[in-house]
Amino acid sequence: MPVPFGILTVSDACARGAAVDTSGPALEKLLLEDGGRWTVAARRVVPDDAQQIAAAVSEWCRAPDGPGCRLVVVTGGTGISPSDVTVEALEPLFAKRLPALATAMVVGSLRITPFAALSQVAAGTVGAAVVLAVPGSRKGSVENVQQILAVLPHAVDTAGALSGTRALHAPGGTPAPAAAPAPRIKCGCARADDGAEGPTAQGLTDELGGGASQRARRSPYRMVPVDEALELVLSSVAVGPTADVALGDLRPGHVLAADVVAQEDVPGYRASVMDGYAVVAADGPGEYPVRAAATAGSGAPGELRRGEVVRVATGAPVPPGADAVVMVEDTELAAATAPGGEEARVRIRPGTRIEPGQFIRPVGHDQSAGAVVLRAFTAVTATGGEIGALATSGCATFQVKTPPVIAVMSTGDEVVDSLGGQGPESLPYGAIRDSNRPALLAALRALGCPAVDLGVVPDDPDALASAIRGALATCHGVITSGGVSMGERDWLKAVVEQRLGGTIHFGRVAMKPSKPTTFATVPGAGFVFALPGNPVSALVAFHMFVAPAVRKFSGHLLALGAADPARVRRALRPSVTAVLDSDEIRLDRVRPEYVRGLLAWDHGTARWVASVPDRRQQSSRMASMGRANALLALPVGSDAKPAVARGEAVTAILISAVQFT
């Protein structure tokens, strides 16, 4: 019979809903696919709290009414930071410590990455169960368990053999498994989605320095669904730091980290709303001497007496004693001090309406001292409205979440730097101009994200590793384009894993275009988006995965709190439902397709409409992105549904400003 097991994920972020647990599901999948030996009996997510960790393990392993787990894998909290308390929580529970199992996990993982030395893996028995503590990363947790997966059934049988283990080793008992070399798996998946075995003898990526005859002939990376890929990205990218920024340094892309409270009233004095004359309303229409003039910034005027007026400009202080303003259009000159001189007397036309308070903005009318000007998590946009409001607050600096600093580079021996000003005569035969890097730099800057231009890097492992390592020393992340497919010089994945010790969270996505899109993290350094080399594929992948990651880092998610994944996706990758206003579009039979389209609001029908101005949608043809402001998300086609027809609803993912018709 299958052995019941439990997966306990230890993570403050996952427990409060700020991150998605990827390690727990990956471990569960690993065990459930191990020849039918295991069955899941319990799963839970707890924060980095020793009492909650110990209570869950005790309940699963020893409580009479618990799930009766014979194996418990605890993922997370095994690092060396003060908040990592998993091992400390488990040690008092262990009836027997199993140091050899822990050593096997570490030794196997050290063959893959030196960072395995920083994990406090542990193993022991609690009651009749085997309990393992493994790292919290998806990659690290799966790698550790894979090292001992072959011996785990026997370990569990032995731990539960209350009458001794002689029967287990007797003829007919549970045989000890034959020793097998541990595969070097890099992302926790040994099989591609099409059932092809990955090259486990050499890991998921080709060995650097190997010849073309040694490369993998089929991608070993599982084809990850689009939504799962986005969740992997968002769970791996944290919200960025908070900084105090002066008004002049605020940029679109900044998100307020705290409420901004007004330090003063606006206006701080009674201000005229019109160009005209300050009067006493009870005086009514008639002819009056002009005592003085009050202009904006002219200082405090003297008190107005009945039977006289003061000329005022828009925004100027209204003198004490005045309780109304009459527009200049409702007056006429009665006398001047000299021909062409100043006004001496004006006449307020008969019938002019004069009421107390008219055309006067009272103190604090626009903003009262102590009032909230803008709430926390408000994003600064390019409209200027937020910065204008903040300018009135009287604050010197503002707490904001800052966007990530991201470096961008193109790769390829054939790529010529188009930002260098080379003319047609300088383009060698077989070379292409770099359109990816300029497009990605522009897209980052449109998000308010500081971008660092790394230029074009050749297809050389040493050059690629040096460029990415150097960029991650000063930037939060790196975007590369090219070098992620199946070519003999496509080194990006191998460089990230073998030279940088990174974790590849996915290496293929079930989408068209952009299938080879790759996302990785480098411990202690940052993230890497390795995008396809085809220009459209790179830009589509940017809007599908990089832009949401930038928005999360920048704090756009904070106002949602612990929202469900679908709401998070809508917030970080905005979309609307639109009506297709183009000829029929044939659906791809293998992957969902993201067609470059034009989204507009039709006032006549009060609905969004989407069209496809450019029917040539090849992933190499950047012109198809030229007028696009949306990606039309089309489902996989079938015999029953081979196409989307004019008038049908489609989901349009916004990538730029929309139009209004």
Determine the Cα–Cα distance for residues 39 and 290; give it in Å rounded to an integer.
94
Q: What is the pLDDT of residues 29-61, one digit of tens each?
A: 999 988 888 999 999 999 998 888 988 998 898
Query: pLDDT digits over 521-533, tens only?
Result: 998 889 999 999 9
Residue 208 belongs to a domain:
no
| CA contacts within 13 A on the Cβ side of 609 | 16
Clarify whether residues 231 and 347 are in a common domain. no
Q: List the structure tokens of 325.
A: 């303003």
pLDDT higher at 55 or 318: 318
Rounded-to-integer distance, Cα 164 and Cα 74, Å: 27
Alpha helix segments (H runs only) across 21-159: 23-32, 50-61, 86-90, 99-110, 138-148, 152-159
Nearest to 28 by CA among 13, 45, 11, 46: 45
Share of the chain above pLDDT 70, in %: 85
Largest CA distance in the chain: 126
Confidence grade of residue 167 (pLDDT, cut at 50, 70, 90): very low
Q: Which residues pair with 557 in a beta bridge?
A: none
The pLDDT of residue 624: 60
Greater model confidence, 190 or 42: 42
Q: Under DSSP, is residue 556 helix (H, G, I), strand (E, B) or coil? A: coil
In a domain, 298, yes or no: yes
Confidence of residue 190 (pLDDT cuts 50, 70, 90): very low
Q: Considering only 215-229, 321-335, 449-463, which range has the smallest mean pLDDT?
A: 215-229
Q: How far apart are CA 556 and CA 400, in angstroms?
A: 11
Same-domain status, 411 and 456 = yes
Residue 117: inside a domain: yes
Distance, C-alpha 192 to centroid of its chain: 27
Mean pLDDT in residue range 312-318: 92
Q: What is the mean pLDDT of the chain?
A: 84
80-86: average pLDDT: 87
Q: What angle do CA 19, 105, 184 make, to 5 degrees?
A: 80
Residues 14 and 148 in one domain: yes
Average pLDDT for residues 332-353, to the nearest whole number?
A: 92
The more confidently predicted of residues 162 and 509 is 509
Q: How far apart are the first and last CA of the chain?
A: 65
Q: Identify whether 415 is part of a domain.
A: yes
- The token duo for 505 is 């969270």
Q: What is the CATH number of the domain that holds 380?
A: 3.90.105.10
| 383 and 425 together in one domain | no
Identify residue 9 by its one-letter amino acid code: T
The stretch 597-616 carries a mean pLDDT of: 85
Q: What is the pLDDT of residue 159?
A: 80
Q: How many CA atoms lie within 13 A of 145 on its CB side?
A: 32
Please report, for the domain that includes residue 342, its CATH number.
Answer: 2.170.190.11
Residues 74 and 154 in one domain: yes
Res 534 pLDDT > 80: yes
- Assess if residue 491 is contained within a domain: yes
Indicate if 502 and 579 belong to the same structural domain: no
Give yes or no for residue 107 having a pLDDT over 70. yes
The C-alpha atoms of residue 519 and residue 508 are separated, in whole angstroms, by 9
Last residue of a domain, one of 497, 529, 558: 558
Q: Is the pLDDT of residue 581 over 70?
A: yes
Per-residue pLDDT at 211: 59
Residue 390 pLDDT level (bands cut at 50, 70, 90): very high
Enter the DSSP assignment of 367: B
Q: Is the pLDDT of residue 197 over 60?
A: no
Number of structural domains (the chain) is 5
CB contact set of 259 (below 8 Å; sequence gap of 6+): 372, 374, 375, 376
Same structural domain, 388 and 427: no
The pLDDT value recorded for residue 644 is: 94
Is 463 inside any structural domain? yes
Same domain? 419 vs 294? no
Q: What's the confidence (pLDDT) of residue 162?
A: 41
Poorest-confidence range of 69-78, 204-213, 345-354? 204-213
- The residue type at 616: R
The band of 16, judged by pLDDT with boundaries at 50, 70 and 90, is confident
Task: Let me know whether 30 and 177 are in one domain.
Answer: yes
Give CA–CA dist 654/543, Å, rounded: 9
Compute the average pLDDT of residues 375-379. 90
Instruction: Give the helix/strand (H/E) hosting 169.
Output: helix 166-169
Same domain, 250 and 372: yes
What pLDDT is recorded for position 423? 59
Rg (CA), the chain: 34
For residue 460, report the phi and psi dihedrals to the nearest 5 degrees: -135, 125
Predicted local confidence at residue 139, as pLDDT: 87
Is pLDDT larger for residue 128 or for residue 557?
128
CATH number at residue 109: 3.40.980.10
Q: Residue holding tokens 């990006």?
A: 492
In this prediction, residue 566 carries a pLDDT of 78
Q: Is the pLDDT of residue 178 over 60?
A: no
User: What residue type is assigned to position 248 of the chain?
Assistant: G
- Other Cβ atoms within 10 Å of 625 Cβ, number: 21
Q: Per the domain annotation, does 430 fall within a domain?
A: yes
* pLDDT exceeds 50 at position 111: yes
Residues 483 and 601 in one domain: no
Q: For residue 311, give its domain range.
A: 271-361
- Listed residues 533, 558, 583: the one ending a domain: 558
Q: Are residues 49 and 35 in the same domain?
A: yes
Predicted local confidence at residue 195, as pLDDT: 34
User: What percent of the chain clears pLDDT 90, i.e. is strictly above it?
Assistant: 52
CATH code for the domain in which residue 618 is found: 2.40.340.10
In this predicted structure, the answer to whether residue 127 has a pLDDT above a threshold of 90 is no
Above 80 in pLDDT, residue 166?
no
Q: Which two tokens stand for residue 622?
A: 């950047």
In a domain, 345, yes or no: yes
Q: Which residue, of 516, 533, 558, is where some domain finishes?
A: 558
Instruction: Judge whether residue 366 has pLDDT over 60.
Output: yes
Residue 367 has pLDDT above 70, yes or no: yes
Q: Which residue has the tokens 């050899």?
A: 100
